[in-house]
Chains A and B, each alone.
Chain A
């Protein structure tokens, strides 16, 4: 079971053996994950990986073929418990489908009434997102895509939920809007809100989340603290030698475990390596002029997982 945080109290999200099948197609395949309260999880995957299906299963919009989901300790497949869970939930869907005839302010009021919770945070969420009060009084159909998305975000955050589930929330936002959203999410995290942030934009997840879950073809391929994930994965190495003998250096480097993409131009050697200790021992024995070791970015990690379909250490 993939797990983030010390789950000593009731987990904010607990998914057990979750699968969803459409005919012969398995969209979500035996998903297991647990998220402790107060954590920010980036839910990553390429298009069609099953992110939105997983979220819809969590929200109770879809029924699992097999498996169980508990949000905030409540089983979402039991109607009474699902109501209790949704009472403390904030959800920002990818396609909000805001009615063009509705006016933003009235829509937010209606949704707050259905939530049965006061929209206590609307007063600071709207200004933080630079949502013009005049725009909230206009029909949604007359608003820009970015403004509509801001209203979508406000409806998810306005009642100060204990668990916030966001599906591609930055779609349509400009860079300022994205930064404002991230600041709001950080503030929510600091208050103890658990955040489940689904995205395919790696830089956003890297900026906001402390943990990531990688989904591929409906399967969870990794779930780690971002730093741990980087440690586990390849580092980019650039090695400059003073008096290289290409054949000797090549053969010695090739002897390193988990080394890939080795190539050189004159006295500069480029490669990626998974384990650092053997490399450091080798460098000590080489005539090194300069060495650069960079951790993988999330984009590198993403590509390493999805290009081959396996974690690098399994290669």
Chain B
């Protein structure tokens, strides 16, 4: 297996080399979004305006944004920045990236015929899967890291009313990386049994949205069902309020990544490539 690591890296690097423009687009988009969110804080009226808006948010929407009722009174710039990591723009960018990568990695390669060039070489199928997974996970990591960098740049360059510690946002970025990784690996499972990119992308997006909604509905947002939902383990407001990233959440997200990767490898190894 160790002998095959160079092959895995060759596939990961080759994929990254061909798709770096889209990765840069997603990552710079996420970075700019977080930066602009902070720099527009004074323009929208600062803490008073944000608090007044938060008070008007109905309980159901507060649940959607993971704003706990007891945070409402003390909702400040730190919570506002954390909300940027739960904003649909950021989540949409990260999710779209992993869905696109996962759908193209296996189903897309079969659909276009490129897979026949790679798998006619003396490499095992899992090498291809792991190479593609690595590229996706690396890309998701870069998006999360640049999001934090956008936040940090905004905090450094803007005259904010408080000194903002950046460590919690780094932990949020790590949490986001694990979340996107878990979502992407879930779509990889679908990609491993299909040969239609659009079909996998559509189904993957639908499943991600359904999982997001399931984490809001009372019936499915509590353990044990919620333990299997990656969204349940992503909670930026909680990280800001405690300053800690739950090791359980990270362990479950990493467990999701490993399990989904193993399922993908198993399914892809035994399927017909046509």
Contacts and interface: CB of A to CB of B under 8 A. Distances in A.
Interface of A: 53, 56, 59-63, 79, 83-84, 86-87, 89, 91, 93-99, 101-102, 106-107, 110-111, 113-116, 152, 155
B41 to A, nearest CB: 39
A89 B117 CA distance: 12
Interface stretch (B13-21, B58-66, B198-206): B13-21
B273 interface: yes
B19 A114 contact: no
B114 A61 contact: no
Given A56-B274, A62-B274, A99-B18, A115 B114 contact: no
Contacts of B123: 83, 114
B10 interface: yes
24 contacts: A59-B120, A60-B119, A86-B120, A86-B122, A91-B117, A91-B120, A93-B120, A95-B113, A95-B116, A96-B114, A97-B114, A97-B115, A99-B114, A101-B18, A101-B19, A101-B21, A110-B10, A111-B121, A113-B6, A113-B10, A114-B10, A114-B123, A115-B121, A116-B121
A98 B18 CA distance: 11
Contacts of A95: 112-113, 116
B116 A59 contact: yes
B263 interface: no
A279 B45 CA distance: 105
Contacts of B5: none
Contacts of B124: 79, 83
Interface in B107-131: 109, 111-124
By secondary structure, the B interface counts as: helix
Interface in B73-123: 109, 111-123
Query: Chain B contact residues (Cβ within 8 angstroms of A): what range?
Result: 20 to 34
B250 interface: no
Contacts of B117: 91, 93, 96-98, 111, 152, 155
Nearest 5 CB-CB pairings of A with B: A97-B113, A97-B112, A95-B113, A91-B120, A97-B114
Nearest to B21: A101
Interface string B6-35: 110011001001110100000000000000
Given A99-B18, A110-B14, A114-B10, A63 B118 contact: no
A62 B273 contact: yes
Nearest to B20: A101
Interface in B136-191: none
Nearest to B128: A114
A101 B22 CA distance: 11
A124 to B, nearest CB: 21
A116 B10 CA distance: 12
Interface of B: 6-7, 10-11, 14, 17-19, 21, 109, 111-124, 270, 272-274
Contacts of B270: 63
Contact of A116 (B113, B122, B272, B274): B122
Contacts of A97: 109, 111-117
* Among B6, B11, B120, B273: residue with most chain A CB under 10 A: B120
Nearest to B13: A110
A101 B18 CA distance: 6
A59 B119 CA distance: 9
Contacts of A59: 116, 119-120
Nearest to B17: A106
Given A110-B10, A114-B123, A96 B113 contact: yes
Contacts of B121: 86, 111, 114-116
B219 to A, nearest CB: 39
A84 B123 CA distance: 10
A107 to B, nearest CB: 8
A59 B6 CA distance: 23
Contacts of B11: 114
Nearest to B123: A114
Contacts of B116: 59, 61, 91, 93, 95-97
A158 to B, nearest CB: 12
B124 to A, nearest CB: 7
B273 A56 contact: yes
Contacts of A99: 18, 112, 114
Contacts of B274: 53, 56, 61-62
Given A59-B119, A114-B11, 19 more contacts: A56-B273, A56-B274, A59-B116, A61-B116, A61-B273, A62-B273, A63-B270, A63-B272, A86-B122, A89-B120, A95-B113, A95-B116, A96-B114, A96-B117, A101-B18, A106-B17, A111-B118, A111-B121, A114-B10
